[in-house]
Amino acid sequence: MFAYVDEFGNISDKPAAKPYEFKEEHLQRPTDPEDEYYFGKVSYYNETGHYGFIRNNESQDTVYFNDTLAGKTLALHQKVRYKYIRTRQGNQVSEVEML
């Protein structure tokens, strides 16, 4: 007895009617999410502590930053393009560009 698996992962005792054809896009690796830039704006900034949060325009997620991590001083409601990394404390900015 033979068992066949189709392109959707279903097991059958009959071979597939048409063979699966590979396409070039199936061989491409997914893009690394760390290579993407996100767009957002500064939703909170504490001037005495020099830290704040950037809110993502699409997902509304927040990312922590301080002036040392950002490498520059940002202002409240400043539009930015940024990358972030996940840490134990949460998401932190790794790169920031002002728009």
Q: Is residue 11 part of a domain?
A: no
pLDDT at 53: 94
Q: Is residue 21 part of a domain?
A: no
pLDDT at 70: 81
pLDDT at 54: 94
Q: Is residue 41 part of a domain?
A: yes
Number of domains in the chain: 1
DSSP code of 59? T
Q: Is residue 43 part of a domain?
A: yes
Q: Is residue 63 part of a domain?
A: yes
Cα–Cα dist 19/83, whole Å? 42
Residue 92: count of CB within 10 angstroms of its CB: 14
Residue 52: give its domain's CATH number.
2.40.50.140
Q: Is residue 8 part of a domain?
A: no
Q: Is residue 75 part of a domain?
A: yes
Residuewise pLDDT in 10s, the chain (99 residues): 788 887 778 888 888 777 777 788 777 766 665 567 899 999 999 989 989 999 999 888 999 998 887 888 888 999 999 999 888 988 999 889 988
DSSP code of 48? T
Range of the domain at 56: 33-98
The alpha carbon dihedral of 24, 33, 60, 73 has a sign of negative
- Residue 62, beta-bridge partner list: 55
Q: Is residue 73 part of a domain?
A: yes
pLDDT at 65: 92
